[in-house]
Amino acid sequence: MTQTLLHIDSSARGTGSTSRQLSDRIVTQLAPAQVIRRDLADPLPQITEPWIGANFTPAADRDAAQRDLLALSDTLVDELRAADTIVIGTPIYNFTIPASLKAWIDLVCRVGLTFEYTPEGPRGLLAGKRVILAVASGGTQVGSEIDFATGYLRHVLGFIGLDEVQIIAADRLVQDMDAALVAANAQIDALAA
Please enumerate, by residue number, every residue annotated as part of a binding site: 11, 17-19
Binding-site residue ranges for FMN: 11, 17-19
Q: Of the candidates 46, 47, 82, 50, which has an alpha carbon nearest to the alpha carbon of residue 66? A: 50
Beta-carbon contacts of residue 93 (< 8 Å; ≥ 6 apart) = none
Q: Of the candidates 151, 156, 150, which has an alpha carbon nearest to the alpha carbon of residue 170? A: 150
- Residue 137: is it exposed, middle or buried by C-beta count within 10 angstroms (0-12/13-18/19+)? buried
Q: How far apart are CA 14 and CA 21, in angstroms?
A: 10
For residues 40 and 13, the answer to whether their CB atoms sit within 8 Å is no
Here the contacts of 94-99 (C-beta below 8 Å, separation 24 or greater) are 95/140, 95/146, 95/147, 95/148, 95/149, 96/148, 96/149, 96/152, 97/10, 97/149, 97/152, 97/153, 98/10, 98/11, 98/12, 98/40
